[in-house]
Structures are given as C-alpha cells and as structure tokens.
Amino acid sequence: MKLNTDNPILEFGGGFEKVRDSLSAVVLVGDRLWVASDELTSVEQLSTNDGLTFKDHKSFPLEGLIKLPALGTKSDQEIDIEGMDQRDSYLWLVGSHSIKRKNVKKKDAGKKDEAIAKIAKTEIEGNRFILARIPLVANSTGEQELVAVANAGGDQELLAANKPERVLKAAQIAGDVKGNDLIAALKGSWLDHGDPHLEKFLSIPGKDNGFDIEGLAVSGDKIFIGLRGPVLRGWAIILEVAVDFSEPAGLKLRNVGPDGRLYRKHFLELGGGGIRDLCVDGSDLLILAGPTMTLEGSVVVYRWKDALRSDEERLVFSEGLKLLLTIPHGEGTDHAEGMTIIPGSENPRQVLIVYDSPSEDRKTGAAAVRADVFNLPSS
C-alpha cells in the first residue's frame, strides 16, 4: 500500500483515549492497521482509504478469542501486549511475561512511609503470560476480522479462503496465572537446571531489568521474541522458539536449542539497549532497540542480516548489525514501542512507528494521535 504522509493520524473511537496514550504494538496488513495497548485486553483495528488517516475503529476484546488465564480472578488485568505480527492468515500476539512493581508518583510525595512501602510491592498479573495466534479472515464485506475458534471454548473451525482444504484454529501455548510453557522451559522444568542467563531474572520485575518481552516476529514455525530486559553486560537477547502446529489443544514448543532446550538464545550488542520490537524483512530481522527499565534515551532501528538463515544460537557484535535510523524522542514522552513494515514499500523500504506516552504535540482530536513513517536506507 502507499501512504500519502509521513505522519499518518490514528483516529480511535470515543472513550479510547487510553489506547491512544499507551500504544505498544502494531502490524499493518494491507490497508488495515492493527494496534494494541499495554493497558487493555483487546486489539484494535483501523483502516485507511486516503493514505492519510487510519479510522473506522473496531475493538476486538480478546476474552472472546483466546483463553485469558486470569479471567475472573483477582489478577485479571491487562495482557500487557508488547508484540504483534501477522503471518499466513493469523494475527500473532505476545504479552510481556513480566512481574510488575508498584509505581510511586509525585502525588505520593506527601505520604513518605506509604510511598516507600509501595515500592516494595510486586505482583503478577496472570494475563501477561500469553503467546497466541488468532485467525484473521475477510468477512462478507472484505474487512479483516479476528474470529473466535477452538481455544475460545468451542469447536468451531474455519477454512482458509485461499486454500479451502486448510483449517484455521486459534491456539496458544499452555499456561496459567503464574506462567506458561515458555517460562517453565526457562526455569528448566524439562531439564535438571534452569537457564544460566535468564532463570534468575524471572523473579525480578521488568522495570528492574527483569524478564520483560517487548517484541515479536514470526516466520513459518519460527517465532522470535525480543527482550527489553534483562540486558546482560550490554548484551540484548532474542529468544527463538518453534511450535508444533499439529497439536489439537494448542501450540506446543518444539526442541530447537542445545542440551534439549525448547528455545535458542541470540545475544546482540545494541549499545546497552534492550529490544522494543522486531520485524521480519525477507531473511533479515529489523530490530527496534531502546532504553531498558525506565531509562530515557535514543531509540534506533538495526538490520540483522540473514537472521532467519541460521539454525544455531548467535553472538552478534555491533559490527554485524547495520544501524538504519534513529527515532526522535521526547523527555518522558514519545517512546517508540511498535514498528511495522509498510507492505509493498520498496526503494525505499518504509516502516511505521507508534508511540507510548505521546507528547501533546502528537495528539490530535479527542482520541487521535500521529504516528511516523520513516524511509530505511538501502541494504
């Protein structure tokens, strides 16, 4: 598709100011833009017919599409969606998988003892342990919709429009309010020891350099999961997993790593930054990298060339990454958190970036916000 502006407007419906102010993931499929907030349990669809404004907002609550482990419990809060991708008639999404520490704000300044005690409190929000795919199909009017099947509690199946013999089903990796199969693998549930790099960080809140997912890219049965934290002595981490699609009950992780592990680890020298999003571009990965924890700083886009061509764990020094561009940011505002390639863009390749905590200059209308389009240098 072609956008006719470098600053497209994302126009949400009334009452969706929280979405506008907390965008954390994005993927562009044709002329439909899918976005998510890290403070809700829904995904949002916008569309454009002029290449200037994405509007006609539709919200899809996820409790009707996949199983939310904490639904109806005291830990039933947001999924903290931090990554989305679209591949082969499915919309994929991932939660942060992180522990949350209570946040002290300026309004707490007059209650010192309570504020100090508040900093000590951590909690697990059980809906954060989600890695799922949902069928994305065209309805009778040609609009793309997410459809509830299988894991939503029924036995409904869909046939793919382009391959009538192919069945589409919603699916997710097994989990509960305290974790899922990915967390169990990192803890070493199938081995006699936990992961030497990551196990210790699973009990640390994400904003304290603990385990914190913030990027997702899918290619075939390979799923790349970018970590905002931990960053280990300046090394950022991408987890690579593969799933067995034939499992009727959900997505089952396959053995892809050394020593019988259900994952691979890739270590990248990103100047001390963590990963904020990932995109597949041919055999390459585009990496949106930025500050970890609650730090302020530059956000940049790298190209990891031929990232998808290897079946081994990788150690990638800065020389093995191409710096493509630097994203402007504000002080406490305009945190770039979502990146998607604009389909069909060539010479130059273009990406669309969405922001958490947008500045007042970026907001427009009651519940609208400006995104940014950037040209990537040729590879």
Q: Is the residue at 269 inside a domain?
A: yes
Q: How many domains does the chain have?
A: 1
Inter-residue contact 47 to 36 (CB < 8 Å)? no
Q: Is the residue at 1 inside a domain?
A: no
Q: What is the pLDDT of residues 74-108, one digit of tens each?
A: 777 788 999 999 998 899 999 999 999 988 888 88
Average pLDDT of the chain is: 89
Q: Is the residue at 28 inside a domain?
A: yes
Q: What is the pLDDT of residues 272-292, one digit of tens each?
A: 999 999 999 999 999 999 999
Q: Is the residue at 171 inside a domain?
A: yes
Find the CATH number of the domain harbouring 59.
2.115.10
Q: Is the residue at 245 inside a domain?
A: yes
Q: How much is the pLDDT for 142? A: 61
CA gap 213, 280 in Å, rounded? 17
Looking at residue 140, its amino acid is S
pTM of the model: 0.93
Q: How far is CA 262 from the centre of its chain?
A: 20
Is residue 159 over pLDDT 70?
no
Listed residue (22, 43, 188, 27) closest to 130, CA to CA: 43
Q: What is the pLDDT of residues 50-61, one digit of tens each?
A: 999 999 999 999
Q: How much is the pLDDT for 231? A: 98
Q: In angstroms, what is the C-alpha Rg of the chain? A: 20
Q: If you average pLDDT over residues 358-371, what whole number do you get?
A: 94
Q: Is the residue at 2 inside a domain?
A: no
CA-to-CA dists, residue 196 to 25, 199, 201, 281, angstroms: 29, 6, 10, 31
Q: How much is the pLDDT for 107? A: 84
Q: How much is the pLDDT for 155? A: 38
Report the percent of the chain where pLDDT is more than 70: 91
Is residue 163 over pLDDT 60?
no
Band (31; pLDDT cuts 50, 70, 90): confident
Q: Is the residue at 291 inside a domain?
A: yes
Is residue 21 over pLDDT 90?
yes
Structure tokens belonging to residue 196: 């030497």
Inter-residue contact 214 to 299 (CB < 8 Å)? no
Domain that holds residue 337: 9-376
Inter-residue contact 270 to 289 (CB < 8 Å)? yes
Q: What is the pLDDT of residues 184-199, one digit of tens each?
A: 999 997 777 899 999 9
Q: Is the residue at 83 inside a domain?
A: yes
Is residue 270 over pLDDT 70?
yes
Is residue 153 over pLDDT 50?
no
Q: How much is the pLDDT for 250? A: 81
Residue partners of 58: CB distance under 8 A and separation at least 6: 44, 45
Band (266; pLDDT cuts 50, 70, 90): very high
Is residue 164 over pLDDT 60?
no
* Cα end-to-end span (Å), the chain: 21
Band (154; pLDDT cuts 50, 70, 90): very low
Q: How much is the pLDDT for 151? A: 40
Q: How much is the pLDDT for 158? A: 53
Is residue 110 over pLDDT 90?
no
